[in-house]
Structure 1
Amino acid sequence: MYYISRLHLRFAFKLAFAIVLALWVGFHFELETPRWAVLTSVLVAAGPAFAAGGEPYSGAIRYRGMLRIVGTFIGCFAALFIITTLIRAPVVMLLVCCIWAGFCTWISSLVKVENSYAWGLAGYTTLIIIVTIQANPLVAPQFAVERCSEIVIGIVCAIIADLIFSPRSIKKEIDRQLDSLLVDHYRLMQLCIAHGDKEQVDKAWASLVQRTTVIEGMRDNLKIESARWGRANRRLKALNAVSLALITQACETFLIQNTRPEFVTPEFRELFETPVETAADVHQQLKVIRKVVSFAGEKYTPVTIRSWVNEATRYLVLKRGVISNTRINAIEEEILTQEVVVKVQSAEGHHAMINFWRTAISCLLGCLFWLATGWTSGSGAMVMIAVVTSLAMRLPNPRMVALDFLYGMLVALPLGGLYFLVIIPATQQSMVLLSISLALLAFFIGIEVQKRRLGSMGALAGTINVIVLDNPMTFHFNTFLDGALGQIIGCFVALMVILIIRDNSKARTGRTLLNQIVSAAVSALTTNKARRKENHLPALYQQLFLLLNMFPGDIPRYRLALTLIIAHQRLRDAPIPVNDDLSAFHRQLRKTADKVTSASSDDKKQRYFKQLLEELDIYQEKLRIWEAPLQVTEPVRRLAEVLHKYQHAFITA
């Protein structure tokens, strides 16, 4: 059944209003090409809805608008620099522009996903300006200013429409998710203490990792929604690390029992058997557990259970603060400033380089096609190639994005023809009728965009682009047909380049991620107080989440990564003896682990990895000599065994 909810209708009205407002403002200020303002409002408003599969939360449209402004200004400055430097060599200028578009795609593949849009936009904005002013380079500054002005107008119209049509706040959803997440954390600990079915535990922790990542994404939305959520945002950032620590402690409890079944005493097994349904139930249970832990003392309480209870208590304190959004008290401030969170290092260098070549080569092919044929709309095809490759490469499935654009442009040919030949000529004498006709187009396609219908986003943008909303409006069928065919050919060429230049970086990226996790685990071997305060968990779990997305269903790989993360966390808290001999060897271990991660070939990687294994064996002997306690020797031995057993996965998998 084709279901349309109230939220679907509200966003459809919002999109229609944004388009109409941009149209009216464009014609009121007598912009030469109001189409850019209208098209910008479409992309800024509809893009987040297509990505979210529904009406985006408050702040998403504003954030996308800000990224578009930043990307446009970067692209305009780059275009002016290239033009003033290479104006006497037009072919070289186009070549440099293609390389710039590839460079922007390379950068967008390495930065955070939510910020990649700005760099992708900067690449094809430069190309649009340079291609457009080929006939008269002297108008480049004027064209750049006009383009920036039209885009800013479109963005402002989209934001106004978002504010008028009551944007959804994500705060209530965050509050609900935090309560639900606490219950699931407790249930995971119950499974791990009971040492139940391994498959069930795998499913539970993988789900918790994904949900914790989702809440972290919600925090980004809340941050840009309003300044009044600043305190809640700080707490949520710390909650992310606490949630990951809870997962780690629970899984370590399960892992230790594989070799030491007596690790969890019958008293604690019985204590965690009580079922829970709500966050209030968990709160009550934690009160009881804290009393038992306090009575039993540190000696008779398993270290992972004690750590888990401490993290769960922090979770409750921070959760209460997020929900109330009250002033941060002294206890919360201590939790918030307790650790330094280490940022994740990108493991997608090879993937980014492939994206660079895909964009640069496809743009060069577009240039050759344009220069060889002399076709008027060859420039349009070239621009469309840059748009598709720049926006598609950062997403998990570039081929489907290119197909979406291609299907959309095929739909835009007859739909745009209907508007260009029939509807707009019949309504051009009345601004009201013209607005109604475009609003209906936006309304119905806006519903399809929220359903994530293949081709819907491309059809809306392509139709707006080919109906040529210029001032004054002209109706030359050849211009329309050339523009529509140029769009289709550009999307087709981009799709062919994506299919021909295969992305073979998946295995290498997966191996790099595992090696980075190994390096982080080894880096925990330190007695430096500042280094021990560094919290690598958010970065490590971000890498684990990327593995989950890249290799769905590969449970052994996830178990391996999780085992390394557990080893890192345990070694970070382990009472390592403090002396110069061990400190010097810690530096040597970290240096070797970094060499494994940065090795440029499999031979070098294999040599450094074997060196790391040998050094870990020597380190275990040093720990025995210096009489290190079991809390140190056990996780080190476990780490060495894992690296020995799965060394093939770290070197050649």
Structure 2
Amino acid sequence: MNSQTLLRMRFACKLTFAILGALVFGFYLQLETPRWSAMTAAIVAAGPALVAGGEPFAGAIRHRGILRVIGTFIGCIAAIAIIMTFARAPALMLLVCCLWAGFCTWWSTVVRVENSYAFGLAGYTALIIVVLSSSNVVEAPQFAVERCSEIVVGICAAIFADLIFSPRSIKKDIDRAVDQLMLDQFMLIKLSVNQAEKEEMDKAWNTLVKSSTAINAMRGSLMMESSRWQRVNRRLKALHSISLGMITQACETYIIMQTTPELVPEGIKQRVNEPVENLQDVRKRMKQLRQIAATIPTDTIALPLYSWIGSGSRALLMIKGIHTNSSISSTENNVLSGEVVVKPASAEMHHAMINGLRTFVSSAIGCLLWLWTGWTSGAGCIVIIAVITSLAMRTPNPRMMAVDFMVGMLAAIPIGSLFYMVILPWTQQSLFLLCLSLGIFIFVIGIEVQKRRLGVLGLLVGCINILVLSNPMTFDVTSFLDNATGQAIGCVIALVVLSLIRDKSRDKTGRTLLNRFVSSAVSALTTKAYRRRENHLPALYHQLNQLLVLFPNDIGKYRLALQLIIAHQRLKMAEVPVNEELSAFHKQIRHTADRVVSSQREGKREYYYQRLLKEMGEYQQKLVEYDAPPKVTEPVRRLCNLLHNYQRAFLQ
């Protein structure tokens, strides 16, 4: 039995323990609906495993659990406020609740991905409370308290199971990842100085961008694992920025080599071409490169290559501290506090609006169907619609997630029927037999969910929901089939709405992202010291990752975006002449670039873009008048040419 199989079995045991523990504890506390505790444990534990394609790292389940608690409390407060305001108008109350669910979905699309779960949950939690307490609104506060209690019980069970079954620490994976990151950085600079093929360069920098982003994402899991990793967290954050800077410097070196190859000294080229197999070899080569760079005039070496050597030395210093988790030295502290990282703004406003509209329309259709037909399982249908549309929107393919839930809910009908009509009646007198029968089923699901089987997560949630586990149980087959059918119909409605309301915001988001790159490049034109300390690279590469997701096969967009990132870094380092006239002109250019990004109409956007080109041309003339050095005029000229040559890409 290999290690991967053992890991999968361990997580399956963890999932089984979490769900059964939540169920038994719910029975012990005599909760009204203990199945909500079991369902919470299932979603909190199985969700990260489905995303990761295996056992999630320590901290992932706790992070998801905390977000679920936050989202539940926000949703409960919103539900009580809606009921208190619109209790005398039930139809209007449901409509407002659907609007709240749509707003929360919009909100979850705008915020960072790792926090979106809480806001999506806040939307459908309010809808659950309003719908299920609509027959007796007086009991809504009590229902909200019970809902929160059940959620907390399920989350505690999931976290306890995560602690019992030896959670997998992410620290060793981080140590391996940062070592490989430096090896990949050395390979990229080697390709740059040797003028490799464009396809090979594209592959190398794309891999590095993804690796840097993945390492930065690991910080959250590491901090959820233990507070003793605070120093490692600070170093990882700094390493992320340094790594992105090294990628930019290596790519700019590649561009400079095409016109002035003499700016790469032969001694540096020889050292870069020597093989490196591990981090120790990288340290040795970097020491040799620093010695060579210190002995030659700075005007005989390309500035980005010179900067790359310095950045590589700082990265090695951070990696050493990451491995040892030692105290932060004064040298490290200077690196850690050197720049202010600028957070990226969302470019998915139109996409977020579509997501909110989808959630509102689908849940409103479910409410109308319920009010019109008086269907006893209409409430369950509405809940499933809200759950799917709220959680699916932040995934890369919402329609596929809806299909996954639909397949799972359809499969839950025969499997749930087997449990409800055959297995559970036999185990009514024994809690042990009940846990044994459910445990075998959950264990198998725990194995399959790590393989990302279609419909597995929906099957688990659907079965727990329609079994209506209580003590004692009543076996009403008609009611069971009605609930199971309601779940399936809710999935179908959600899928139909997702298919009919199509998201055509991809091109709009892509254009906004490219215009943001232009705005960032122009924003580097400043003489203000505090603005020069701002580090835009993490935000720029975050937007570059969004382009990679939106246009996986459009390499032209990536190259254009990368050239704008390079232009931003070069202009940021340029020693622009300090005077009032240029400072005022910088402010005017930045304002025009911002209007290009914010303009919604095509004609207005083209007007401001042409105005930006005109102002950039005038700015070039002013630099000549003030005798600016070539290190300033050359990157400005390259940016102007870029804006002229790619007008169509930025405007259409």
- In structure 1, C-alpha distance between the alignment counterparts of 2:446 and 2:413, rounded to whole Å: 18
Question: Which residue does the alignment assign to 2:183?
Answer: 183
1:270 lines up with 2:270 in the alignment? yes
Deviates more, 1:101-110 or 1:30-39: 30-39
- In structure 2, C-alpha distance between the alignment counterparts of 1:334 and 1:514, rounded to whole Å: 33
Amino acid at match of 1:6: L
Q: Summarize the alignment of residues 489-504 of structure 1 with structure 2, pairs less than 5 Å apart.
A: 489-504=489-504
DSSP 3-state at the match of 1:347? coil
Question: Which residue does the alignment assign to 1:87?
Answer: 87
- In structure 2, C-alpha distance between the alignment counterparts of 1:137 and 1:289, rounded to whole Å: 73
Question: Which residue does the alignment assign to 2:463?
Answer: 463
8 Å contact kept, 1:32–1:471: no
Q: Summarize the alignment of residues 308-323 of structure 1 with structure 2, pairs less than 5 Å apart.
A: 308-323=308-323
1:354 lines up with 2:354 in the alignment? yes
Question: Which residue does the alignment assign to 1:289?
Answer: 289
- In structure 2, C-alpha distance between the alignment counterparts of 1:577 and 1:215, rounded to whole Å: 38
Question: Which residue does the alignment assign to 1:539?
Answer: 539
8 Å contact kept, 1:33–1:471: no
Deviates more, 1:454-463 or 1:619-628: 619-628
Q: Encode CA deviations 1:13-33: one digit per residue, 9 max, x unaligned.
A: 001111111111111111121
8 Å contact kept, 1:19–1:438: no
8 Å contact kept, 1:577–1:628: yes
Question: Which residue does the alignment assign to 2:123?
Answer: 123
Amino acid at match of 1:429: Q
- Aligned-pair distance for 1:371? 1.0
8 Å contact kept, 1:358–1:501: yes
Question: Which residue does the alignment assign to 2:331?
Answer: 331
- Aligned-pair distance for 1:223? 1.6
- Aligned-pair distance for 1:154? 0.5
* Root mean square deviation, CA, Å: 1.2
- In structure 1, C-alpha distance between the alignment counterparts of 2:588 and 2:471, rounded to whole Å: 69
Question: Which residue does the alignment assign to 2:396?
Answer: 396
Amino acid at match of 1:252: E
8 Å contact kept, 2:415–2:463: yes
Q: Encode CA deviations 1:375-402: one digit per residue, 9 max, x unaligned.
A: 1001111111101000001111001100
- In structure 2, C-alpha distance between the alignment counterparts of 1:631 and 1:474, rounded to whole Å: 81
Deviates more, 1:179-188 or 1:250-259: 250-259
Amino acid at match of 2:340: V
Q: Summarize the alignment of residues 608-627 of structure 1 with structure 2, pairs less than 5 Å apart.
A: 608-627=608-627
Question: Which residue does the alignment assign to 1:73?
Answer: 73
Q: Encode CA deviations 1:110-162: one digit per residue, 9 max, x unaligned.
A: 00111111111111111111111111111001100011001100100000000
DSSP 3-state at the match of 1:276? coil
TM-score by length of 1: 0.99
Amino acid at match of 1:290: R
DSSP 3-state at the match of 2:471? coil
- Aligned-pair distance for 1:300? 2.6
- Aligned-pair distance for 1:192? 0.4
- Aligned-pair distance for 1:267? 3.4
Q: Encode CA deviations 1:341-366: one digit per residue, 9 max, x unaligned.
A: 00001000000000011000001110
Q: Encode CA deviations 1:534-586: one digit per residue, 9 max, x unaligned.
A: 00000000000110111112111100000000000011011111111111110
TM-score by length of 2: 0.99
DSSP 3-state at the match of 1:296? coil
Question: Which residue does the alignment assign to 1:426?
Answer: 426
- Aligned-pair distance for 1:279? 1.1
Question: Which residue does the alignment assign to 1:168?
Answer: 168
Q: Encode CA deviations 1:46-104: one digit per residue, 9 max, x unaligned.
A: 01111110000000000000000000000000000000000000000000000000000
- In structure 1, C-alpha distance between the alignment counterparts of 2:558 and 2:299, rounded to whole Å: 32
- Aligned-pair distance for 1:489? 0.2
Question: Which residue does the alignment assign to 1:557?
Answer: 557
Deviates more, 1:259-268 or 1:496-505: 259-268
- Aligned-pair distance for 1:260? 2.7
Question: Which residue does the alignment assign to 1:649?
Answer: 649
- In structure 1, C-alpha distance between the alignment counterparts of 2:418 and 2:332, rounded to whole Å: 61
DSSP 3-state at the match of 1:41? helix
- In structure 2, C-alpha distance between the alignment counterparts of 1:639 and 1:301, rounded to whole Å: 22
- Aligned-pair distance for 1:472? 2.7
Q: Encode CA deviations 1:400-429: one digit per residue, 9 max, x unaligned.
A: 100010000011001110111111110010
8 Å contact kept, 1:34–1:471: no
DSSP 3-state at the match of 1:109? helix
Question: Which residue does the alignment assign to 1:383?
Answer: 383
TM-aligned CA distance change 1:171 to 1:313, over 3 Å: same
- Aligned-pair distance for 1:451? 0.4
- In structure 2, C-alpha distance between the alignment counterparts of 1:507 and 1:609, rounded to whole Å: 18
Question: Which residue does the alignment assign to 2:111?
Answer: 111
How many residues of Structure 1 are paired with residues of Structure 2 in the alignment? 652
- Aligned-pair distance for 1:265? 3.3
- In structure 2, C-alpha distance between the alignment counterparts of 1:623 and 1:195, rounded to whole Å: 32
Q: Encode CA deviations 1:425-458: one digit per residue, 9 max, x unaligned.
A: 1001000110111111110011110001010000
- Aligned-pair distance for 1:268? 2.9
DSSP 3-state at the match of 1:287? helix
Question: Which residue does the alignment assign to 2:45?
Answer: 45
DSSP 3-state at the match of 1:257? helix
Question: Which residue does the alignment assign to 1:578?
Answer: 578
Amino acid at match of 2:563: T
Q: Encode CA deviations 1:317-337: one digit per residue, 9 max, x unaligned.
A: 000001101111101111000
Question: Which residue does the alignment assign to 2:31?
Answer: 31
- In structure 2, C-alpha distance between the alignment counterparts of 1:218 and 1:157, rounded to whole Å: 24
Question: Which residue does the alignment assign to 2:452?
Answer: 452
Amino acid at match of 1:458: G
Question: Which residue does the alignment assign to 1:260?
Answer: 260
Q: Encode CA deviations 1:485-523: one digit per residue, 9 max, x unaligned.
A: 000000000000000000000000000001111101000
1:156 lines up with 2:170 in the alignment? no
Question: Which residue does the alignment assign to 2:247?
Answer: 247
The gaps in structure 1 that reach 5 residues or longer are: none
- Aligned-pair distance for 1:261? 3.2
- In structure 1, C-alpha distance between the alignment counterparts of 2:42 and 2:265, rounded to whole Å: 61
Amino acid at match of 1:56: P
Amino acid at match of 1:154: G
- In structure 1, C-alpha distance between the alignment counterparts of 2:279 and 2:3, rounded to whole Å: 33
DSSP 3-state at the match of 1:636? helix
- In structure 1, C-alpha distance between the alignment counterparts of 2:3 and 2:361, rounded to whole Å: 43
- Aligned-pair distance for 1:257? 2.2
- Aligned-pair distance for 1:259? 2.9
Q: Encode CA deviations 1:165-214: one digit per residue, 9 max, x unaligned.
A: 00000000000010011011011001101112111111100110011111
Amino acid at match of 1:459: L
- In structure 1, C-alpha distance between the alignment counterparts of 2:297 and 2:165, rounded to whole Å: 57
Amino acid at match of 1:32: E
Question: Which residue does the alignment assign to 2:630?
Answer: 630
8 Å contact kept, 2:575–2:632: yes
Question: Which residue does the alignment assign to 1:512?
Answer: 512
- Aligned-pair distance for 1:219? 1.2
The gaps in structure 2 that reach 5 residues or longer are: none
8 Å contact kept, 1:362–1:494: yes
